[in-house]
Structure 1
Amino acid sequence: MNAMDQLLSRVSTDRLHEPAPTAAQLEQCVAAALRAPDHGYLRPWRYGVVTGEARAQLAERVVASLLRVDPAAPQAAQDKRRQRFSTMPMTLVLGMRLRPDHKIPVWEQEMTVAAGVMNLLNALHAQGFGAIWVSGPPAQDPVLAAELGFAAPDRLAGFVFVGTPETPLPAHPRPDATSVMADWQGGPLSFAADRG
């Protein structure tokens, strides 16, 4: 499959089983992530790798985070997070090492992290692995972030679940590319996607 076919066939999935990438495969995927644009060369990407027995420990911290944010969280929500985080073949903790004191705005640093995650997802797909980027309340919890090594001003950008897809992944429908493209003619841009 050529590079363009790879990009056009990537989909997110959490229907994953073993094996997860080897250390060498993951290192290559992270190397691809580090090719993302990085204004100021601040290198804000951080990837924590969680496998084996550490998955259950992370799951308990995520559930504790959920309960900090919402003490009345239903048991089903707690169980779902505990199950997902403890059984995925590999979880990557996405950290953002931010420099609010730098001339490069924090929002650009965050975009660098996001671009890196997209490169990572594409690289995992190119190696035959499945993945999904998840966020939600735990990614916004400064206590959990600090427990994982990202005390303020650093933050979490979420988590990536990684493994081998259970089945061939069907392509999810996406909008026609032309619906989100418009030629600028000097005034406000108008897109077909916005005209419904």
Structure 2
Amino acid sequence: MPMTLTLAALDSRLSAPTRQLTAPGPDDAALLRILRTAARVPDHGKRVPFRFLRIAGDARIALADAVIARLLEREANPGDGVIEKLRLRFTAPPLTIAVVAKLGEDEKIPASERFSTASCVCLLLLQAAQAEGYGAQWLTGWPCYDRPLLESVLGLSTDEQLVGTVAMGTCPVAVPDRERPDPRALLQDWNPA
């Protein structure tokens, strides 16, 4: 494939709002194809410091209920809008992939590098899902950092961290692009003192 087509595909990446994602989502074959691409990340030391949790079918509702229950433990009156938005995060898309970083002891590779690898997985999940014709959105927020939720509900070990959830499905409406930064404004030349 010519490089210009590859760059055009990368430049067309958009996040599709989770609340707009509907069925169908990726089937098993499409999901494995997407995951194969997502696993092609820079990985110092070849540690494969990530894993995936698939949230589909009735598990979507169960997770939404558990996350809302945890929210109500954390906050006295979060508001109906906050609760509904949280519910839709897991129930609207037909498929969500949770990306888990494995950050246990490692004498050679710092945890920050391994977390960066897992973060790259999330970006490639977005791009691979879009390449397969699906909309996707990477979400973080407090559920990624709440240890009782991560350990009791999602089953993460104490040395794992949720990097985010990537919702996938069909987006029935065109997603408008947003203004992107000008790379010229971000680039500086380094000169030795």
TM-score exceeds 0.5? yes
CA contact (8 A) 1:66 1:137 kept: no
Kindly tell me: are residues 68 and 103 of structure 1, through their superposed partners in 2, closer, same or farther at Cα, counting changes over 3 Å?
Answer: farther
Counterpart among 48, 55, 72 of residue 53 in structure 2: 48
The residue that corresponds to 2:172 in the other structure is: 166
- TM-superposed CA distance for 1:59, in Å, is 0.4
Q: Which whole-Å deviations, capped at 9, do the CAs of 1:77-107 have from their partners, x for residues lacking one? A: 1122113312211111121122234321111
- TM-superposed CA distance for 1:75, in Å, is 2.9
The residue that corresponds to 1:5 in the other structure is: 8
CA contact (8 A) 2:45 2:109 kept: yes
The residue that corresponds to 1:193 in the other structure is: none
- TM-superposed CA distance for 1:72, in Å, is 3.2
1:57 has 2:62 as partner: yes
Residues 14-33 of structure 1 aligned to structure 2 (within 5 Å)? 14=17, 15-33=20-38
Distance in 2 (CA, whole Å) between partners of 1:122 and 1:83 is 22
Distance in 1 (CA, whole Å) between partners of 2:99 and 2:74 is 20
Residues 1-196 of structure 1 aligned to structure 2 (within 5 Å)? 2-14=5-17, 15-146=20-151, 147-187=153-193
Identity %: 34
Q: Any idea what SS the aligned residue of 1:157 has?
A: strand
Letter aligned with residue 25 of structure 1: A
Distance in 2 (CA, whole Å) between partners of 1:56 and 1:37 is 34
CA contact (8 A) 1:49 1:93 kept: yes
Distance in 2 (CA, whole Å) between partners of 1:74 and 1:35 is 41
Instruction: List runs of 5+ in structure 1 lacking aligned partners.
Output: 188-196
Instruction: List runs of 5+ in structure 2 lacking aligned partners.
Output: none
Letter aligned with residue 137 of structure 1: W
Q: Any idea what SS the aligned residue of 2:45 has?
A: coil
CA contact (8 A) 1:20 1:89 kept: yes
CA contact (8 A) 1:129 1:162 kept: yes
CA contact (8 A) 1:130 1:163 kept: yes
Q: Any idea what SS the aligned residue of 2:127 has?
A: helix
List 4+ stretches of structure 1 deviating above 3 A: none
Distance in 1 (CA, whole Å) between partners of 2:81 and 2:154 is 25
TM-score after normalising by structure 1: 0.89
